[in-house]
Amino acid sequence: MAKNIKLMQGNEAIAEGAVIAGCDFFAGYPITPSSEVAEILSSKLPKIGKVFLQMEDEIAALGAVLGAALGGAKALTATSGPGMSLKQEHIGYASMCEIPCVIINVMRGGPSTGLPTLPAQGDVMQAKWGTHGDHAIIAITPSSVNESLYETIRAFNLAVKYRTPVLILTDEIIGHMREKVVIPDKSDIEIIDVKLPGVPPEKYNPYNYTSGEVTPLAPMGEGYRYHVTGLIHGETGFPSQKTDVIQNAQNWLMDKIYKNIKDIEKFEEFQTEDADILLVAYGSTSRSSRQAIMMARSAGIKAGMFRPITIWPFPDEQISALSKKIKKILVPEMNMGQVIFEVQRNACGSSVYGLNVVNGEPITPDQIYEKIKEISKI
């Protein structure tokens, strides 16, 4: 069968991936550099009987998404920079209430209004810790337009499967570049749909902490009555101040993600087998890193790359294993240093170096290559 190949912008690929995944509902507010996601879905979704809403602000946008998700919709929003900051309260609510949704953050320079039209990777730690309290989160960092489409589909699957918000962290570079995309046939990919619980309404508990299984979220309006609150709650959803219930609820929010990390994590290794210097790079910076590695190898320096595609949960095990055989690690980032601290935490005695560029320009292969040469002489 001939492949369905298109030339697409990164944000367009995200919108296309959402439609393929079965997105029923989008609510958002225009913000550079993510606005094309909303613009494209404002045309696509109504044509297939789905819902698009432009809300009055970023807070309302995610609130509408959570309401739609509780009604059984596969729901999505897209934003950047200050808009992501505004969504944090609702991200915490979604985590506590276990409401599945997908949130696109096309990263730009910050803090505050920052650099609206220029790229950065400054929101990685915000994705993990932006909302208060202990909780687990899933965040994905695609590095190409094609990957943006497929990782959007995977994000919807993970959101439904684990009843959690899933974040996709791209940036202005990937969001606005155009590349070849292979559009998949739905029969060739996994799509996890929202389904009714396998028990009658009178036996349904929306939060089943003791079974080890994520209970399907019963869509409201289908005969299942349950309580939803941002307060710590027991398995029925009603608030509790019992210490054992509190501990179980908190453990569950972490365990349902970390005990399934093998299913959630995704990464790529490039020429790590014989590497003397390891680059840990993600998103658009990994593209420059790949070219820099080829330059280094041409000069006789054995460099390789580990690329986390799922960045939260962080791939601790893989970084630890690689650091036992590669003692020099370089982490290039378009921020002042974020993922580098996670690498250092897992580096098992390796020397970890950073390359940090925050001037609104991409990190170039030449910049990375020069740093590789510098490290190789240490």
Q: Which of 84, 93, 94, 78 is nearest to 28 (CA)?
A: 78
CB 285 within 8 A of CB 251: no
Give the CATH class of 4-188.
Answer: alpha beta
Tens-digit pLDDT profile for residues 228-278: 999 999 999 999 999 999 999 999 999 999 999 999 999 999 999 999 999
CB 150 within 8 A of CB 184: yes
Tens-digit pLDDT profile for residues 348-374: 889 999 999 999 999 999 999 999 999
Q: Which two tokens stand for residue 51?
A: 């819902």
- The matching CATH number, chosen from 3.40.50.920, 3.90.320.10, 3.40.50.620, 3.40.30.10, for 268-376 is 3.40.50.920
Residue 361 is inside which H or E element, if any? none
Tens-digit pLDDT profile for residues 172-190: 999 999 999 999 998 899 9
What's the CA gap between 167 and 102, in Å, rounded? 6
What's the CA gap between 256 and 122, in Å, rounded? 27
Q: Which two tokens stand for residue 378?
A: 């240490």
State the CB neighbour count (10 A cutoff) for residue 367. 16
pTM confidence score:
0.96
Between the CA of residue 365 and those of 43, 44, 55, 292, 309, what are the distances in Å?
A: 38, 37, 40, 5, 20
Cα dihedral 228/232/237/242 (nearest 10)? -160
| CA 96 to the chain's CA centroid | 18
CB 56 within 8 A of CB 104: no
Tens-digit pLDDT profile for residues 114-140: 999 999 999 999 999 999 999 999 999
Q: Identical fold at 4-188 and 268-376?
A: yes
Q: How far apart are the first and last CA of the chain?
A: 53
In the predicted model, what is the mean pLDDT of residues 298-324? Answer: 97
Where does the pLDDT of residue 2 fall: very low under 50, low under 70, confident under 90, or very high at 90 and above? Answer: low
Q: What ranges do the domains of the chain cover?
A: 4-188, 268-376
Between the CA of residue 238 and those of 91, 231, 235, 339, what are the distances in Å?
A: 20, 8, 8, 37
In the predicted model, what is the mean pLDDT of residues 288-308? Answer: 98
